[in-house]
Amino acid sequence: MAKTPATSRRALLFGTAAVSTGALLTACTSNEPKNQEKAADNAAPVADDKPGKAVTIGFAGPQADHGWLNAINDNAKNRAKKYKDVTLEITEGSNDTAQQIGQIETLINKKVDVLVVLPADGKALTQVGLQAMRAGIPVVNLDRIFNSPQAYRCWIGGDNYGMGLNAGHYIGEQLKDKKNAKVVELAGLDNLELTQQRTKGFDDALKNYPNIRKVARQAADFTVESGQAKMSQLLQAQSKFDALWNHDDDQGVGALRAIDQAGRDDFLMVGGAGAKSAMDAIKAGNSVLKATVLYPPTMAASAIDLARALGQGKGIGGLAEFEIPSSLTLYSAVVTKDNIDQYLPTGFI
């Protein structure tokens, strides 16, 4: 879960972009259809499901000590199995930065074609990302971002600010006609930038609804136990409120326990991330949980797609550019009972 990189960042180029630039510029500056057709004919190949050049992808992520992180690993493994031309070298996840650096250096020494890295600590692992790039191995930086854009060829990840923004707008629309509406927030770990971004997005969204006031906030730490304890404190301190924004569906399991124990059903709850347990509850419609805002672990599957394209020197279908983008920010969709069937298959355990 990471800070979104600025759109002005430039990454190193791999593949066919350099030799294709002349054709692209001709197509952009000429009014002659023949030149445009010629540029289209010379377009770089795009990745598809058909077997192509064999690519070995090294994958290194943190320890799967959270449902979302476990889903990251599963998405990467399952996506790699889809391609006959992909071999996945996956390391044992670790939250020890020195150990993860060592694992990535092993993959570099094995001369994998592309690296996909979800760093336990983006800042601490920046140097090993730079090491891989200097060795000619393109890096797909997944979610938690390295400190330098030179340490990766492409970044793909979620939108923490967008999570809070969309949660706030959903709650705002539900309460827009209620006078003096009150909301509370169950945040994640306050020392994480992602938590601060989610809160900022939520607060910015609520500015559009002058009838709504946030009256309380508690920070938990993304576990069931902390969710239950902190939610109990919120419920004791706030005898009446209209909506709850919970940053994380794992800690939301504990929050729902506390709510049930308190016998409270006088407000609506919005979760975050997209756990299957939350989606099941939304579909059942028998609790205060009415929506969850996605932080999709499917980004790991997309990272494998991007790594394969890089390894084969291909672009992405549907885009005019010859190369894959330097960054891709995923959208934080709001999942409700109305669209639950569409998103339920992406729910993680």
Q: What is the mean pLDDT of residues 19-24?
A: 31
Under CATH, what is the fold of the domain 17-157+297-329?
Rossmann fold (3.40.50)
* Burial category of 201 from C-beta neighbours within 10 Å (exposed 0-12, middle 13-18, buried 19 and up): buried
Q: Which tokens go with 159?
A: 């939108």
Residues of the chain with pLDDT > 90: what percent?
81
Question: Nearest Cα to 295, choosing from 309, 278, 307, 280?
Answer: 278
**For the chain, what are the domain ranges?**
17-157+297-329, 160-294
Q: Which tokens go with 245?
A: 């924004």
Is the pLDDT at 41 greater than 60, yes or no? no
17-157+297-329 and 160-294 in the same fold: yes
Alpha helix (H) residue ranges in the chain: 17-29, 33-41, 67-82, 97-109, 126-134, 160-175, 193-206, 224-237, 249-262, 276-284, 299-311, 340-343
Question: Is the C-alpha dihedral spanning 320, 7, 222, 338 positive or negative?
Answer: negative
At 297-348, the pLDDT tens digits run 999 999 999 999 999 999 988 888 889 999 999 999 999 999 999 999 999 9
Q: Which residue has the higher pLDDT, 318 or 195?
A: 195
Q: How confident is the model at residue 65 (pLDDT cuts 50, 70, 90)?
A: confident
> What gap in Å lies between CA 319 and CA 212, rounded to an integer?
41
Is the pLDDT at 15 greater than 70, yes or no? no
160-294 in CATH: which number? 3.40.50.2300
Distances, alpha carbon 79 to alpha carbons 36, 49, 130, 137, 271, in Å: 36, 11, 26, 20, 27
pLDDT at residue number 43:
55
> What gap in Å lies between CA 208 and CA 347, rounded to an integer?
30
pLDDT at residue number 318:
87
Do the Cβ atoms of 263 and 288 come closer than 8 Å? Answer: no
Q: Which residue has the higher pLDDT, 22 or 50?
A: 50
> What gap in Å lies between CA 140 and CA 118, rounded to an integer?
9
pLDDT at residue number 12:
30
pLDDT at residue number 73:
94
Q: Which residue type occupies 156?
A: I
CA dihedral 217, 223, 228, 233 (to 10 degrees): -30
- pTM, two decimals, is 0.83
pLDDT at residue number 30:
37
Question: Nearest Cα to 290, choosing from 273, 271, 263?
Answer: 271
